[in-house]
Amino acid sequence: MVTMRMAPNIWTRESGLVEKRDVVTAMKRGFRGRCPRCGEGKLFRAFLKTADHCAKCGLDFTPHRADDLPAYLVIVIVGHIVVPAVLWIETNYTTPVWISFAAYLPFTFVASLALLQPVKGAVVGLQWALRMHGFDDNPPDGIPPV
């Protein structure tokens, strides 16, 4: 039997001094479109384009990788609101098809657009709080930036 011995972790005072990041607070700030660190600077420079950095605290937003997760989450959220409402209305009331389309499609479209930016902000806040995708102060060696 071969036993492997790992190098012991040496803890110093400096290694324990890392910035505490609250996940819920960071996600709330991101949901409101604010910097996840300070909560004052703007997170977005356009509808879905994040700013390069926070104007107040200087946090760099360029390492975020939200990709398609906000769109998937918006589909799930809006779907869980629209589908039960449509099923309830269609089983209890008889509405013409044109009225159904005239009501459900615009509501789904507007709700999806309204939630897209806040959900993306919450995802960026989550990534910052969990030190993901370059938001870590000390990234591991040997991993090239994306």
pTM: 0.80
> Residue range 37-62: average pLDDT?
92
> Residue range 18-22: average pLDDT?
78
The alpha carbon torsion through 25, 27, 30, 35 (nearest 10 deg) reads 40
User: Using CA atoms, how far apart are residues 57 and 26, in angstroms rounded to an integer?
Assistant: 14
Confidence at 47, pLDDT banded by 50, 70, 90: very high
Radius of gyration of the chain (CA): 22
